[in-house]
Amino acid sequence: MPHLIIEYARDLDPPITKTLQALHQTLSASKLFDEADIKIRAQPYTEYLVGGHKANRFVHLTVLLLDGRSDAVKSHLGKALRETVKQNLGSIDNAQITVEVRDMERATYIK
Give pLDDT tens digits for 22-43: 999 999 999 999 999 999 999 9
Query: Strand, helix or coil at 94?
Result: coil
Helix, strand, coil shares of the chain, percent, nearest 5, are 40, 30, 30
Q: By residue range, what is the domain housing residue 61?
A: 3-108
Q: How confident is the model at residue 92 (pLDDT cuts 50, 70, 90)?
A: confident
pLDDT tops 90 at residue 11: no
Q: What is the pLDDT of residue 97?
A: 92
The total number of structural domains in the chain stands at: 1
CA atoms within 13 Å, Cβ hemisphere of 108: 3
